[in-house]
A and B are shown apart, each in its own frame.
Chain A
């Protein structure tokens, strides 16, 4: 391990058994974490070591008492499988996880930290878009996390005439626009959970904002001018 010069060479502390534990705990640096995952892909023994540690550590939760979640929780989960569900982004702690990806450099650093404990794929967003008017008079940022199917949108600039609304559309190549959200006026950020169907269309799609009657397009398709457009790109 090049980053641990003070460890004597004879101490076998870069043993795969230790690395696997560090991986499970989320202690590896981003680079080491990725390198480890790449090795794991082709190495069943390494995968078995990880699974063993996961089994061992999980017993630390064995005596945590069960807590029945509120009934509303299942309904919320079920609903989010079917259709875009709009949840206001949490304001108590500022932004949710996806929000960090929107906020610039420091945010990017945090997303990296967060990657380290993701057992599935990274918890950090995988796609992003800058939805802008040509003169940047209307500007939103978007980040998408494929694991949760959540699209985070952040207001940066722009306004519409009174009694009108901004409506967001996801447009896959050669397909009709699909409404994502009618922006609640004054909201700094929103998180939309995309349906599986919509989710599959995200890579390569375009996000567009149109100017619609208050409350959104009455037809289900854009009726007003497109005020901003952004290509969704992998991060």
Chain B
């Protein structure tokens, strides 16, 4: 992985229409973005199509990077995540989803998640760990599967407003923990 400054410089150059910078940006970041999208969509064909669209978005919107205040990899991964979630929601809306079992497989943190080295990751794993298991799972599902309040309410078999209250409380607790 390249440094934050290198990626940032490549995004800035891409914003000026510099194709070789965009090619370098793709070279440095596409494996990560592809990995994230594949983990969300779990289909090679759909992931290829999505990643192509994601890089077109990056190409067209690179000039908006600075306004967001994101770190460069967060900006890129967030674009990728949002696009993948759009696809996943569209897939669910047409009932063309993968089987439930496949969807669920990757949502709980694996051993590698708990043993990870980065301190950021340790911090969030720790704070997720302070939430009741089902609430942590709900937040994770919202982020990694794009599940809506209605879908989460159905999954956890609670009324919609209860789900909303649960999740909002969990987010507040998470924020308080992360800000410590």
Contacts and interface: CB of A to CB of B under 8 A. Distances in A.
Contact of B19 (A81, A113, A146, A193): A81
B: interface residue count bin: 35 or more
A60 B70 contact: no
B48 A66 contact: no
Contact of A27 (B51, B121, B148): B148
B178 interface: yes
A110 interface: yes
Contact of B74 (A4, A58, A100): A58
Nearest to A93: B96
Nearest to A6: B161
Secondary structure at the B interface, as helix, strand, loop or mixed, is helix
B93 to A, nearest CB: 5
A110 B94 CA distance: 10
Nearest to B114: A63
Given A114-B86, A118-B86, A65 B23 contact: no
Contacts of A22: 168, 171
A6 B162 CA distance: 8
A97 B87 contact: yes
Contacts of A61: 36, 39, 77, 81, 144
30 contacts: A6-B161, A7-B161, A7-B164, A7-B168, A11-B165, A15-B172, A21-B175, A27-B142, A27-B148, A51-B68, A59-B121, A61-B39, A62-B118, A62-B120, A63-B113, A68-B31, A73-B51, A74-B23, A78-B19, A81-B19, A81-B22, A93-B91, A94-B94, A113-B89, A114-B90, A120-B64, A123-B86, A147-B61, A148-B60, A193-B56
